[in-house]
Chain A
Amino acid sequence: MAPSRGLLFRLRPSIQSIKSQCRRYSQFVAAATDPTLKARVFISQTTNPYLNLSIEHYLLQKTPADSTVLFLYANSPCVVIGRNQNPWIEVNLGVLRNEKLDVKLVRRRSGGGTVFHDEGNVNYSVICPTSAFNRDKHAEMVVRALKSLGAEKARVNERHDIVMDKGDKEGILKPFKVSGSAYKLTRLRSLHHGTCLLSSPNLQSISKYLRAPAKPFIKARGVDSVSSPITNVGVEISKFREAVASEFRSMYGIRPEASDSFLLVDEKAREVPEIAQGLDELLSDDWIYGQTPQFTFSTENTTTTADEPLTSAWPTILRECEIGFTAKHGRLTEVSVDFKGRVDEPSKLTLRKKLSYISSGPVEMKQMKSPLINRELHKINDWEEVLPPFSGTDGEPDVDASPGKTMNRLFGVGNYEPSVYVG
């Protein structure tokens, strides 16, 4: 690439001081698909998580088969779940929807567990030929970058994560996770991307996003997240980006003073048709919720573990009300509700009207041919509409003991107080 095209810039000590560098997307496309370039560095200037992931996917698909690409990006606050995960198990959707922080929910294309991203977390992504793929190679590269910035105790652990040994409250040296990785392998190209917690201000509150109240009641296949104690590395973001880019360059033989040592990518990338398509897909409910593997929810699963907040347990007063459903692709395929007679007559009638069940017996019908079947779980905004209040033992509908309300709490919908959702 000739410097005269004005496309690319020499790397200077402070990347942030470079202004208005991004050109029309056609030059980005040209740089991405140029077959003579064996290694490239791309740096994102947007913090839109969906766009960044779409750019990453585009680079995976379009860069030449024998080239290696580094892509660095940071996202505005969001929770990112893995390709095959269940948002109702991994994420507290109620908090997500209502907190002023405007945290988005994203499902990425690579596997692995759930992570929280914000501007203090830099993501690195390396795309290389599948024949050269190795889980540790680029994690080691990032560790070298961290060490060059003074983080002496950084290392790659056996799960291919990057950890830093730090003294905990008692002063004992323990590994704290600073980076997790995930991978996507296709026939010719493989992607390894990882997070890196540099200076996140939200470290303490991350856990509230990642504790899902419905978790104890859901049985599912798919990958579980493995939670680890986390910490910030504590280096400056721009320095980290430079260090990683320079390690990458020395690994792949790009001269740092070359005019094409890196390329900035910004919002204009969404004009590229493939990126726009990928972006739409990532934004669609069908992808975010519909890609959830089959799972069953049942209030009869009352296995609570020590660190589950009490509010996520099924209230004892509702013990006799059993609700369960199976969801495929995020849609309810089988639903069963058993109130064991604890619904009063007027409510029964409204229930009948609402649910139009066929069974003429008491409200112990098992299969409801109801408004619930085939509905998308994430679209059910208020369970109180479909489930009547429970009757107390004295026959009066007990407004507090409302299965609908509790379901709302578990799934983070309806009217509620955010504080209720946090343990």
Chain B
Amino acid sequence: MRLSLYSRFLLRQGNAYRAHGFHRQFPSRTFHASARALVIKPFLLADIGEGIRECEIIQWFVEPGARVEEWDKLCEVQSDKASVEITSKFDGVIKKLYYEAGEMAKVGKPLVDIDIQGEIKEEDLAALTEPGTGEETQIQAQDQAKEPTRAQIVKSTQIPEPLPTPQKVSSPKGKHATLATPAVRHLTKELDVRIEDVNGSGRDGRVLKDDVYQFAKQRDSAPAQVRSSPATSGGPQTETPTKFSNTQYQMFKSMTNSLAIPHFLYADEIDFSNLSDLRVRLNKGLAKHPVNELRKISFLPFVIKAVSMAIDRYPILNARVDTDPESGRPILIMRSQHNIGVAIDTPLGLMVPVIKDVSNLDIASIAAELNRLQSLAAGGKLSSKDLTGGTITVSNIGNIGGTYVSPVIVEKEVAILGMGKMRTIPAFDENGGVVKKQICNFSWSADHRVIDGATMARAAEVVRSFVEDPDSMVMYLR
């Protein structure tokens, strides 16, 4: 009888689902299937102000088993003079109500149990756990634990997925790029390797044991830290706690912040044949008559310039996301200078020095600046001026290896380009004959809160056209 009076609320919930046109069930083939059941969290009654410590539940709008979306009404509570509607912060299924209608609910204590079925932002984790244990659970959540199920939960709660689409399996964050068997994860922990760094050679980009070994070997080529070596046959497991170095710690902090950005991956194959020919010709010339001591030029300056030209057409790639101090709403801050960061692997670790104002530099100057930064980096002498102010980043992991990569966007930026290794493949020319082609894979990651697929695709096409046909850049020579 009571429910019929408020049936319009129930109807509204039902209508919301109908509008989507699909059942609110996730496809059974996600790899989170078993981990889901473990994400039932108690949702705490938030502070309603005025120093009120408890309030009476007037009525419930949900019951155990009800599906809720973020912002659906859970219940109405009453404190002295105020009646307050409590809404849900998460999508999910209500599992348990802690109070009956008419009971006094305590502020700060669990109100309902909810089986969360959407993304959980870091700041919302606080609404779930008791205040005292807040930090604990967050650290646990970030710890790449040995148990694979825990690691899978970590992935399911940490990787912010793009806006919910019906096909969760094919969500393009490179799920498979970080997918690995427990044995491989164990190995990565042992070798102190970040699984995102390793380019997987397995199916769909999965990381295999060999990949990890290779990566670790290349990294270990400069003897920097004490590391536990791969287990030799026989002998027990040894664990050696190693503190983060400064650089590593910076990377840790920076990447943790990048977690808040919903990434989507856009990958493409670029034909480098024309650029390769051009480069060969240019280098011949430079060898004879160096320009500003530049004797050789690599591909990277061309790519950097192409990216800058794409930004001219799609300035949103150069922006950053911030919050408007007055309204508290997120806003986009557009930036005029193209400061392109270049990821460099140094003996100390990953560093991203920035080439400032690329749009006003010609390719030779870009190359010269690149050389300067690289030599500074090799000597560990990069200044903070070199390392800050970036607006977009290019990461040429292909220098070392890898085909596809899912790069992580740097804090305060909205896009990043990862370049794979250049390789020669057979292809067909217009007569049907087989020719050699030099290709390289560009993998873009972009912030899906601001950049949509179409914009990314168009910008990527601009870069591709300049790189595949470098002669066209001539039209924009100043």
Binding site for B on A (CB under 8 A): 82-84, 109-113, 131, 135, 160, 181-187, 221-223, 277, 281, 284, 286-287, 290-291, 293-294, 329
Contacts and interface: CB of A to CB of B under 8 A. Distances in A.
Given A221-B56, A294-B102, 20 more contacts: A84-B58, A109-B83, A110-B81, A111-B78, A111-B79, A111-B83, A181-B81, A183-B83, A184-B83, A184-B84, A187-B87, A223-B56, A223-B78, A284-B5, A286-B1, A290-B2, A291-B58, A293-B58, A329-B1, A329-B2
Contacts of B81: 82, 110-113, 160, 181-183, 223
Nearest to A295: B102
Give the residue among A187, A287, A291 with the most B Cβ atoms within 10 A. Answer: A187
A281 B50 contact: no
Nearest to B83: A111
Nearest to A284: B5
18 contacts: A82-B81, A83-B58, A84-B58, A110-B81, A110-B83, A111-B79, A111-B82, A112-B82, A113-B81, A181-B81, A182-B81, A184-B83, A184-B84, A186-B84, A221-B56, A223-B78, A290-B5, A329-B1
Contacts of A183: 81-83
B82 A182 contact: yes
A185 B85 contact: yes
Cβ-closest 8 pairs across A and B: A183-B82, A112-B81, A111-B83, A185-B84, A186-B85, A84-B78, A111-B78, A187-B87
A7 B1 CA distance: 42
B71 interface: yes
A287 B5 contact: yes
Contacts of B50: 135
Contacts of B56: 84, 221-223, 293
Contacts of B78: 83-84, 111, 222-223
Nearest to A182: B81
B5 A84 contact: no
A111 B2 contact: no
B430 interface: no
B48 interface: yes
Nearest to A160: B81
A83 B83 contact: yes
A187 B73 CA distance: 9
A294 B71 CA distance: 29
Contacts of B87: 187
Contacts of A221: 56, 102, 104
A313 B262 CA distance: 68
Nearest to B327: A66
A306 B84 CA distance: 35
Contacts of A284: 5
Contacts of B328: 131
Contact of A185 (B1, B48, B104): B48
Interface string B92-124: 000000000110100000000000000000000
Contacts of A182: 81-82
Interface residues of B, number: 22
A113 B71 CA distance: 29
A112 B82 CA distance: 7
Nearest to B104: A221
Contacts of A82: 81
Q: Is the interface of B mostly helix, strand, loop or mixed?
A: mixed
B5 A281 contact: yes
A386 B364 CA distance: 103
A111 B81 CA distance: 5
Given A293-B58, A293-B102, A223 B80 contact: yes
Given A286-B1, A286-B5, A112 B80 contact: yes
B295 to A, nearest CB: 61
Nearest to B100: A294
Give the residue among B1, B80, B81, B101 with the most A Cβ atoms within 10 A. Answer: B81
Interface string B320-336: 00000000100000000
A111 B52 CA distance: 14
Contacts of A290: 1-2, 5
Interface in B41-60: 48, 50, 56, 58
Give the residue among B2, B8, B50, B80 with the most A Cβ atoms within 10 A. Answer: B80
B379 to A, nearest CB: 52
Interface string B1-45: 110010010000000000000000000000000000000000000
Given A221-B56, A290-B1, A293-B56, A187 B83 contact: no
Contacts of A181: 81
Nearest to A111: B83
Nearest to B103: A221
Contacts of A160: 81
A286 B5 CA distance: 8
Contacts of B1: 286, 290, 329
Interface in B203-224: none
B52 to A, nearest CB: 11
Interface in B227-242: none
Contacts of B80: 111-112, 223
Contacts of B101: 293
A37 to B, nearest CB: 18
B82 A185 contact: yes
Give the residue among B50, B71, B82, B85 with the most A Cβ atoms within 10 A. Answer: B82
A83 B84 CA distance: 11
B86 to A, nearest CB: 9
Contacts of B48: 185
Contacts of A131: 328
Contact of A84 (B2, B71, B83, B85): B83
A22 to B, nearest CB: 28
A288 to B, nearest CB: 12
Nearest to A133: B49
A274 to B, nearest CB: 10
Contacts of A184: 82-84
Contacts of A293: 56, 58, 101-102
Contacts of A185: 48, 82-85
A126 to B, nearest CB: 14
